[in-house]
Structure 1
Amino acid sequence: FITSKDLAGGKCKIHQKEPEIIEEENYFFKLSKYSKEIGKAIEEDKTRIIPDGRKNEMMSFINQGLEDVSFSRPRKDLKWGIPVPGDESQTIYVWADALVNYLSALGYPDDNFKKYWPPDVHCLGKDILRFHATIWLGMLLSMKLPLPKNIFVHGFITSSGQKMSKSLGNVVDPFELVKKYGTDSVRYFLLREITSMEDGDFTYEKFEQRYTSDLAKGLGNLVSRVATLAKKHSFPSDISAKGQVQKEINSAQEKYKKSLADFKFNEALISVWGLIGFCDRYIEKEKPWENKENAEEVIINLLFAVKEIARLLEPFLPQSSKKAADQLKSEEIKALFPRI
């Protein structure tokens, strides 16, 4: 159900259709009872909504006063679903029983549930924020359960600037992408090209450009170069970097940690690729293949840097991170990302 204030030009903002006016008897959840408590939790960041723009959007909505919500539909109109306890003529509204899955999946109320609740981060799309920041929080308050610590709201993915639609023929099949380029390549594009909290656009041209420049010629090329240089020497396992290389690693780590804390995954990856770029320039400047006096020190610095790059990339590119680390210890050098 939607109300008149949810419409734009008389149409639903999401579906772009005029609503059908109906009248029926339902059971309601008294959401209005929790309006002030929900607003206080969000305003004081007890449940932090990220980004701030989404928080402001929800505070504006809540400050208008939350209304009670229909939590059932007549069984004659909705034969599937969970019957309302004690009234077989009504079916629980799908959003109500869907939200409860967050609890039941953890085995509420047993010890396993207590181990994982409340969640550190509740990740959801911008179109379902209102349900989760009002109805769901109200349900939790009514059950006297802790609220999620953070609600992280992401945008949509468009295709060549348009909403993906079968009728437009612009739907991108992620399984086909993975089959051709690998899981980590797809993960990298989505996390690097699209900012975490806004809409982002996918095109095959953008994807292949990122794949070639950042993965094949960037990360993959650096790992191959350093692994090739290291094969000519024997180093202890407990190596460490020195001088400017260590300073660059420290700088990348600081930027990376801050970006993750702010849920800015693309910026975390930018910090890692900044370190990759530094290593490339360091190789060209020092030319360790010329067997200068400092050649071994340069290679050790590079080995340590690439190990750190692999470690930082583990949450984003788990398969490639492991392959990169293994490559440094292997006699056989394979391309992490084959050229296309």
Structure 2
Amino acid sequence: MTYRYITTPIYYVNDRPHMGHAYASVHADIMARYLRAAGHQVMLLTGADEHGEKIAKAAAQAGEAPRAFAERHAQSFEAAWRRLAVEPDHFVRTTAPSHARVVSACLTRLFEAGEIYLADYEGLYSVGQERFVTEKELVDGKLPEDKEPPVVRREPNYFFRMEAHRTWTRQLLLDTPDLIQPAQYRNEILKLLEEPIGDLSISRPVERLEWGIPIPWDTQHVTYVWFDALLSYVSPLGYPDQAAFAHYWPSVRHIVGKDILRTHTLFWLSMTHALGIAPYQRLHVSGHLLGADGRKMSKSLGNGVDPLAAADTYGVDALRYTLVREVSFGFDGIISEAVIEQRLNRDLADDLGNLAARTLSMVVKYRGARVPAPGTCTAPERALIARAGELPDIVLALVDEMKLGRAVEQVMELVKQLNVYVATSAPWTLAKDSGASERLDTVLYTLIEALYHVSNLLSPVLPGKMQELRSLLGVSSEPRWNVPWGDGIKPGTAIQEGILFPKRATGDHV
């Protein structure tokens, strides 16, 4: 048995889920579904990062205790993933006692090994990112992702000797070109590693911040939120000695946004090296989602699209499809209501939906809603059969590289080929010719069987609608992978007509 471990970011739950969260989680879910379909034992992890200064500050503003505030928002993330058909195998919470025990044990090990020391520190501190920053990181006096400029702070902190691991980290990236994808993010980190990166402050004094995991040997300090959160990738696996850790960790792939690239490279790789944990297999880094105005989505600009509202308006599967087709993973791209509507109407309704509706309607009309047995295949059928047989391996290879948009594009090219096949075969003309009955049977069977293959190939992206399609085709609702041609839909199977993707005009609601 082969194991695969996929993680989303452990989301900071100081507000409700936004489209950037949905983008990462939907990509992770789709990758997990494809790998499960291919026969791997997959664990998909997501969760809630519930500690830190931003949570404490947001809770105070809401008039709530930090724990109650974090609980409420963590539940909103769990509900959001259910609504968006994201099905994690584990939802980790950094307030869980089991996680706190792992954090405490790791801190103790590193402290006893001399990797952690106490020192006074004065520097520029970003409340938004909850870390000390350097002058060279600032643009117009603040970090690009922050609303407020950093503040000067001087306080005693415990530090992790991150600088001691810089040479090792740099060599790892040089020796493993595909560790960070796309490559431009690896290059960005390699450039940073050419110069000293300093040590990492990993505690906050309780006189300033009480909301966090206590430092085991000094209760006057709590653990820095990032040191805590990064360990939530290993704590659900029973690190260090449970079987799940041994099975899943060697295959781990982290899916993150580029705004947390440094924490998942400089911080996390140094931490795992110091703890004797093998580095992750791959770090998939996404770009920024932009609003219709071409600027990064943000609450203050009001240019974002609410993922839950979009799911209600356009359908969950249409949103999932748009997220993987419209914005190539690793690059910035626009997601707007107009973009979602266009993908729904053009790709899903006009191409896939129309193919399914026409095919099902013709089988009902010409063959009494029963799948006919095919006759002799000709060159057009053989070409379609060959392409359907090639696609599972092609799709999986692209999924492995987190090129989900291209994987789906390959399947949609088959859909377009099938629409051309309908037009050139002209079943409506064959139906008028009594001598063409066998040929009509072959064409209709080819279309039905091909639709079944498409339903399996697209099921990870469109789980609800492809289950609906298989139901209309009269077969099991569960997807199957790499099914030999002819083993999908048996002649004589009863089918039904249906509309998978009603077109939407602006102002309509699903």
Fold conserved (TM > 0.5)?
A: yes
SS in 1 for 2:319: helix
Q: Summarize the Cα distance change of 1:120–1:79 in structure 2 as closer, same or farther, 3 Å threshold.
A: closer
1:159 and 2:291 are equivalent in the alignment: yes
- Once the two structures are superposed, the pairs formed by residues 1-340 of structure 1 within 5 Å of their partners are 1-15=132-146, 17-45=148-176, 48-109=179-240, 110-160=242-292, 161-231=294-364, 232=367, 233-235=370-372, 242-250=381-389, 252-253=391-392, 255-289=394-428, 290-291=430-431, 292=436, 293-329=438-474, 331-340=495-504
Asked if the contact 1:260/1:268 (under 8 Å) is kept, the reply is yes
Q: Hey, what's the Cα distance between the residues in 2 that align with 1:254 and 1:89?
A: 55
Asked if the contact 2:360/2:498 (under 8 Å) is kept, the reply is no
Q: Summarize the Cα distance change of 1:167–1:61 in structure 2 as closer, same or farther, 3 Å threshold.
A: closer
Aligned to 2:82: none
Q: Hey, what's the Cα distance between the residues in 2 that align with 1:30 and 1:166?
A: 36
Asked if the contact 2:286/2:329 (under 8 Å) is kept, the reply is yes
Asked if the contact 2:304/2:336 (under 8 Å) is kept, the reply is no
RMSD of the alignment, in Å?
2.3
Which one has a larger percent strand, Structure 1 or Structure 2?
A: 2
TM-score normalised by length of structure 2: 0.63
Q: Hey, what's the Cα distance between the residues in 2 that align with 1:325 and 1:188?
A: 18
How many pairs does the alignment contain? 339
1:171 Cα deviation (Å)? 3.2
SS in 1 for 2:312: helix
Q: 1:12-47 CA deviation, whole Å, 9 max, x = no partner?
A: 232164322221111100111211221222222287
Asked if the contact 2:250/2:278 (under 8 Å) is kept, the reply is yes
Q: Hey, what's the Cα distance between the residues in 2 that align with 1:252 and 1:167?
A: 43
Q: Summarize the Cα distance change of 1:300–1:130 in structure 2 as closer, same or farther, 3 Å threshold.
A: same
Asked if the contact 1:81/1:94 (under 8 Å) is kept, the reply is yes
Q: Hey, what's the Cα distance between the residues in 1 that align with 2:234 and 2:329?
A: 26
Q: Hey, what's the Cα distance between the residues in 1 that align with 2:172 and 2:288?
A: 27
1:146 Cα deviation (Å)? 1.5
Identity %: 32
Could you tell me which runs of 5 or more consecutive residues in structure 2 were left unpaired when the two chains were aligned: 1-131, 475-493, 505-510
Q: Summarize the Cα distance change of 1:38–1:257 in structure 2 as closer, same or farther, 3 Å threshold.
A: same
Asked if the contact 1:230/1:328 (under 8 Å) is kept, the reply is no
Q: 1:43-94 CA deviation, whole Å, 9 max, x = no partner?
A: 2228710001111111111122332111111110111111111111111111
1:287 Cα deviation (Å)? 1.0
Q: What letter is aligned with 2:457?
A: L
Asked if the contact 1:252/1:274 (under 8 Å) is kept, the reply is no
1:207 Cα deviation (Å)? 1.4
Aligned to 2:46: none
Q: Hey, what's the Cα distance between the residues in 2 that align with 1:176 and 1:16?
A: 26
Q: Hey, what's the Cα distance between the residues in 1 that align with 2:500 and 2:221?
A: 57
Asked if the contact 2:180/2:282 (under 8 Å) is kept, the reply is yes
SS in 2 for 1:65: coil
Q: Hey, what's the Cα distance between the residues in 2 that align with 1:176 and 1:10?
A: 35
Q: Hey, what's the Cα distance between the residues in 1 that align with 2:329 and 2:145?
A: 21
Asked if the contact 2:250/2:280 (under 8 Å) is kept, the reply is yes
Q: Summarize the Cα distance change of 1:29–1:276 in structure 2 as closer, same or farther, 3 Å threshold.
A: same
Could you tell me which runs of 5 or more consecutive residues in structure 1 were left unpaired when the two chains were aligned: none
